[in-house]
Amino acid sequence: MDLLEFARGPALQFAALVLIAGTIWRIVGIAFLGKKADYSEPRGPGGLGAALKVIWTRAFTADAFKKATLYPKIMGYVMHIALFAVVFLFTPHIVFFEGWLGFGWPGLPNNLIFFLGVAAVVSGIALIVRRATNPVLKLISNFDDYFSWFVTMLPLVTGLLIPVRALFRYEDLLAIHILSVALLLIWLPFGKLGHTFLVFITRGTTGMVFERRGAKT
C-alpha cells in the first residue's frame, strides 16, 4: 500500500469515523448538560421562532460595532464563502461526494475555484495576522485558535499546490492533500471548529432563553 492508497483508504475512513463519533459525542454531551429550572415569569414564548431569529440576526454585526469590525467581518465572509465553494463546488470534490451520497451537482470552473482558494488563504492569513498582532485578541487566544486555523488552511494550501508539479509527483501531492483533510476532519469536532455545527444549537438556545426573559434579540 503506497501513501496515496493509505490516504484515500484507511486514513480518510478513520477520519470520517472520528468526525461522526466526535460530532455525536459533542451534541449528546450538550443535550445531557440539562438546565437549571427557571422560576421567573415568562415574558415571551421562547420557542422555535426565537431560535431561528437569533440564528439569522447573529450572522450580522450590530450597528454599534459595524465600523470597528468591518475589516475582520469582510475577511471572515470572504474566507467562509470561498472555503464553501472550494469544498462543495470543485468538480473533483463533487465526484468524491457523489461516490458517498449517490448523487452530484453542478460545479464551478476550475480557474474560478483556484482563485477562490487563493482568496480563502489570503483572507485566512489576514485574520491570523490580526489575531497575533491585536493586543486584545492576542491575550484571549490559545492553542485551539491557532491550531484550528492551521488545520483549516493546510488543505487549501496543499490543494493549491497540486497543479504545481515541479518538485513533487502528482500522486504524492494528492496524498498529502488528502491526509491534511483527514487531519481537519479529526480535529473538527473537538476544537473551536466545532462551531461549524454547534453554532446553530448555541445561537438557537440563546434566542429561546433571551426571548423568554424579555430581552431584545
Q: Domain residue spans in the chain?
A: 3-30+54-212
> What pLDDT does 134 receive?
92
Q: What is the pTM of this model?
A: 0.84
Please report the pLDDT score of residue 43 as a whole number: 63
The amino acid at 144: D
Tell me the per-residue pLDDT of 104-149, one tens digit each, with 9 for 90 and over: 999 999 999 999 999 999 999 999 999 999 999 999 999 999 999 9
Mean pLDDT over 149-153 rounds to: 96
Whether residue 42 has pLDDT greater than 70? no
Please state, in angstroms and rounded to a whole number, the distance separating the CA atoms of residues 217 and 195.
20
Q: Which of 143, 141, 162, 154 is nearest to 184 (CA)?
A: 154
* Average pLDDT of the residues in 63-80: 84
What percent of the chain has a predicted confidence (pLDDT) above 70?
85
Domain 3-30+54-212 classification at class level: mainly alpha
What is the C-alpha to C-alpha distance for residues 144 and 190, in angstroms, rounded to an integer?
Answer: 9
Helix (H) or strand (E) holding 82: helix 70-89
| pLDDT in the model for residue 29 | 81
